[in-house]
Structure 1
Amino acid sequence: MSTDRATRPTGPGAGEPAAPPEEVPGGRRRIEGRSPWALAWQRLRRDRVAMVSLAVIVLVVLLAVFAPVVAALTGHGPDQQFRQDGLSPDGLPVGPNGTFWFGTDDLGRDILVRIAYGARISLLVGVVATALTVVIGVVVGLVAGFVGGFVDTLLARLVDIVLSMPFLLVAIALVSITGAGLGVTIVVIGSFSWASVARIVRGQVISLREREFVEAARSLGAGDVRIMFVDVLPNVLAPVIVYTSLLIPIVILTEASLSFLGLGLPPPTPDWGGMIDEATTYYTTSWWFVFFPGLALLVTTLAFNLFGDGVRDAFDPRGDRGATVVGGAS
């Protein structure tokens, strides 16, 4: 009876036969361990909300990648104006129909095609600006937390200055000087979003720099740069990945907000924020003009947020999210 209880599987998949443990010398049985990354991936796969959100993200990515295919299937270009079929006799946008599935805008352009091309802009800015943010924040946080002393104080004050700057006012000033564009948008967002990442990484590195594995690396003659990027950095990647997954939707919303304020890409480039801005004067007569671009923005950011929550829970199933919450609140 005791042997049956010892070998009976429990937990998820309890109905499946368990593989017999491998025997080792001395009559003991070897227990196969799994890395924290494997455990996190296993928890993430069991999170249905996160998996559904990931499926939505994949669909949005496919829509962006195959935007030319959508244009070819409909026969409408992203900037092509249909003055005869795409506008009513009163010059108003045409509602959803068999020719224009999502209706048209104020210039007679196909909203579906423009949403597909707009997904390219939102995802590109979201991924590239987030990558720039994370790289700057990780480097600053590593140096500040590991070196300490005057360098830590100087970089910490720099982080405080960046966090205290009014982002929109600085963005308006920079765009008015340099002009609107994709590169300017990415640089502006990345230049003012890295401080929260740096603060998270700095706190993690301070708690790790006196650990035994760091002292062992020093005793073997490793330099500070190697210790920071080879020994310490892998141990802070988990909170960085969690924060990155939650930062992407914030960046997408920021880019849409800048475009809505006229600080994004210049027309006629399809952009979700710009499309919503163009529809503000037509929402009472042409609901589809503002509804579908707004829905695309809502669904995309919500999917990224829910997936980010799933990643956070996968890495920290007990709910100890202090660093993540601090970073998000910053």
Structure 2
Amino acid sequence: MSDPIMSAPTMSDIATTGHVPRTIEGRGPWRLAWLRLKKDKVAIWSLVVIGLLVLVAIFAPFFAWLTGHPPNVQYRETGLTPDGLPVGPSSTFWFGTDDLGRDVLVRVAYGARVSLGVGVLATMLTVVVGVVVGLAAGFFGGLVDMVLARLIDVVLSIPFLLVAVALVSITGPSLLVTIVVIGFFSWASMARIVRGQVLSVKEREYVEAARSLGAGDLRIMFIDVLPNVMAPIIVYTTLLVPVVIVAQATLSFLGLGVEAPTADWGGMISTAQRYYRTAWWFIAFPGSALLITTLAFNLFGDGVRDALDPRVDRLIGR
């Protein structure tokens, strides 16, 4: 917002001070949130780390070109010891090799594609379904709210891991199945949050004004109500991404993620269990990548939550 919130300077003000006093500009909630976020060094550095991880995922083929090691090629002569064990980090294999003689660095980079891709796509599916269901339940109320609220309760009561393992076991491991399964079991929490927020704002004056002007229900829901409940949606979305990444890694760890030989962090950690005493790098690098990714998203989500919380008392520099 750029409208001044104080009166324009008078001629006496200019004569007294010798200069035109600077007017104070109003700041909307989103601009204030951005100003708070910029002052949160932990959140900003977390965002930088997330950006670097995205670049690693995008340029994974560059790492394969740089090292000369495609992600699924087995180097049994140079990538394994005479005893058939992985070789450690060296000038040839910067992060060492895995149990089949493949380059761990390249596979970690390609694994970032899987983890971040599933994290983003499954989160988008969760947000879309959860927001639509939550909006409908909170806005229409009555029978619609009762049915959708009970559906939310049913989904939340289902043990995610057991049912996910059963479904993936039946359909077979694949990236699409992983995204759908995680999205199906994650939307209910988003819907419950949105429903509660909509119930608190649907009777506000601006909603009644829009209704009195003849606006339809869909327009009121998505134009008047949804923008006013976006803050908790954004916060929950940023905190949901690491949860989804860990869920995908868990399924892969159990052998129910992506199909081999596709590289992903959960599958690498699972295979490396047998070699952690003799080949620490095999489990250390994909494990560190998973830890750094989830930690960065969690810290950034905390920063976004604090920035969007109007009760946070912070000094905003002018």
How far apart, in 2, do the equivalents of 1:226 and 1:314 lie?
Answer: 28
Whether 2:193 is the aligned partner of 1:200: answer yes
Whether 2:16 is the aligned partner of 1:23: answer no
Q: Deviations over 1:170-204 (max 9, x none)?
A: 11221122211000000000001011111111111
Q: TM-score, normalised by structure 1?
A: 0.88
Whether 2:300 is the aligned partner of 1:307: answer yes
Aligned-pair distance for 1:318? 2.8
Relative to structure 1, the CA distance from residue 102 to residue 163 in structure 2 (aligned partners, 3 Å threshold; closer, same or farther) is same
Q: Specify the code of the residue in structure 1 equivalent to 2:42.
A: V
Q: Give 2:263's aligned residue.
A: 270
How many residue pairs match? The answer is: 300
Whether 2:31 is the aligned partner of 1:38: answer yes
Relative to structure 1, the CA distance from residue 214 to residue 27 in structure 2 (aligned partners, 3 Å threshold; closer, same or farther) is farther
Q: Give 1:75's aligned residue.
A: 68
Q: Give 1:8's aligned residue.
A: none
Q: Deviations over 1:224-245 (max 9, x none)?
A: 1110011000000010000000
Q: Specify the code of the residue in structure 2 equivalent to 1:23.
A: A
Q: Give 1:242's aligned residue.
A: 235
Q: Give 1:99's aligned residue.
A: 92
Q: TM-score, normalised by structure 2?
A: 0.91
Q: Specify the code of the residue in structure 2 equivalent to 1:60.
A: L
Q: Deviations over 1:208-265 (max 9, x none)?
A: 1111101100111001111001100000001000000000000000000000011100
Aligned-pair distance for 1:26? 10
Q: Give 1:189's aligned residue.
A: 182
Once the two structures are superposed, the pairs formed by residues 211-222 of structure 1 within 5 Å of their partners are: 211-222=204-215
Q: Give 1:158's aligned residue.
A: 151
How far apart, in 1, do the equivalents of 2:226 and 2:296 lie?
Answer: 28
How far apart, in 2, do the equivalents of 1:265 and 1:26 lie?
Answer: 72
How far apart, in 2, do the equivalents of 1:283 and 1:102 lie?
Answer: 14
Task: Give the match's secondary structure for 1:23.
Answer: coil
Q: Which one of 133, 151, 167 corresponds to residue 126 of structure 2?
A: 133
Q: Deviations over 1:67-100 (max 9, x none)?
A: 0001100000000110111000000000011110
Aligned-pair distance for 1:27? 8.5
How far apart, in 1, do the equivalents of 2:10 and 2:207 lie?
Answer: 34
How far apart, in 2, do the equivalents of 1:27 and 1:167 lie?
Answer: 70
Q: Which one of 51, 66, 80 corresponds to residue 44 of structure 2?
A: 51
Task: Give the match's secondary structure for 1:101.
Answer: coil
Task: Give the match's secondary structure for 2:275.
Answer: coil
Structure 2: unaligned runs, 5 residues or longer: 1-5, 14-20, 314-318
Q: Which one of 249, 258, 265 corresponds to residue 251 of structure 2?
A: 258
Q: Give 1:142's aligned residue.
A: 135
How far apart, in 2, do the equivalents of 1:27 and 1:265 lie?
Answer: 74
How far apart, in 1, do the equivalents of 2:282 and 2:40 lie?
Answer: 35
How far apart, in 2, do the equivalents of 1:158 and 1:263 lie?
Answer: 27
How far apart, in 2, do the equivalents of 1:81 and 1:274 lie?
Answer: 17
Report percent identity of matched pairs: 71
Aligned-pair distance for 1:25? 8.0
How far apart, in 2, do the equivalents of 1:144 and 1:121 lie?
Answer: 34
How far apart, in 2, do the equivalents of 1:22 and 1:72 lie?
Answer: 63
Task: Give the match's secondary structure for 2:73.
Answer: coil
How far apart, in 2, do the equivalents of 1:220 and 1:94 lie?
Answer: 72
Aligned-pair distance for 1:22? 7.2
How far apart, in 1, do the equivalents of 2:211 and 2:296 lie?
Answer: 44
Q: Give 2:316's aligned residue.
A: none
Q: Give 1:123's aligned residue.
A: 116
How far apart, in 2, do the equivalents of 1:319 and 1:90 lie?
Answer: 59
Once the two structures are superposed, the pairs formed by residues 285-304 of structure 1 within 5 Å of their partners are: 285-304=278-297
Q: Specify the code of the residue in structure 1 equivalent to 2:301.
A: G
Aligned-pair distance for 1:168? 1.1
Q: Which one of 165, 172, 182 corresponds to residue 179 of structure 1?
A: 172
